């Protein structure tokens, strides 16, 4: 676990209810639309609204009919999960709860999942 500081990033995004079936379907749809090659993939979790947003940084040549949003910058407490899907995905919730319990966090900003590789996920909890 460590602290990182990130800048705001303009992203293409798709938001669904934070429910397992909706999230799984959103990832399949989004990845098929924008493709994975050369893309960084993120997700924002807004616990206040109960929404899950899949997103990728916007590129100048992008012409997808998607909402443009912002992956908020600032300071985050981070941990890294490694393993094989799908069991890797089952560890996200408990690891995020552990990160939140590690100290005060900023609930006005979303939780973030950064899919660094097929087998590596960074989890970020916003801090002041």
User: For each of the chain's 128 residues, which pLDDT tens digit applies?
Assistant: 899 999 999 999 999 999 999 999 999 999 999 999 999 999 999 999 999 999 999 999 999 999 999 999 999 999 999 999 999 999 999 999 999 999 999 999 999 999 999 999 999 999 99
- CA quadruple 90, 93, 96, 100: dihedral positive or negative? negative
**pLDDT at site 7:** 98
Total Cβ atoms within 10 A of residue 74: 15
For residues 103 and 115, is the Cβ–Cβ distance under 8 A? Answer: no
Predicted confidence at residue 22, as pLDDT, reads: 98
Residue ranges covered by each domain of the chain: 2-127
Architecture of domain 2-127: Alpha-Beta Barrel (3.20)
Residue 11: its pLDDT value, please? Answer: 98
Cis status of the peptide bond prior to 86, with omega within 30 of 0:
yes
């Amino acid at each position: 676990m460590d602290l990182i500081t990130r800048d705001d990033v303009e992203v293409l995004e798709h938001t669904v209810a934070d429910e397992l079936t909706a999230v799984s379907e959103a990832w399949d749809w989004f990845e098929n639309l924008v493709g994975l090659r050369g893309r960084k993939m993120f997700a924002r979790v807004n616990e206040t609204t109960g929404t899950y947003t899949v997103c990728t940084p916007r590129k100048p040549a992008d012409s997808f009919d998607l909402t443009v949003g912002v992956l908020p910058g600032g300071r985050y407490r981070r941990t890294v999960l490694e393993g094989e899907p799908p069991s890797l995905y089952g560890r996200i919730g408990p690891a995020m709860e552990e990160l939140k319990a590690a100290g005060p966090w900023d609930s006005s900003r979303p939780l973030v999942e950064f899919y660094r590789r097929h087998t590596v996920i960074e989890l970020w909890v916003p801090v002041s």
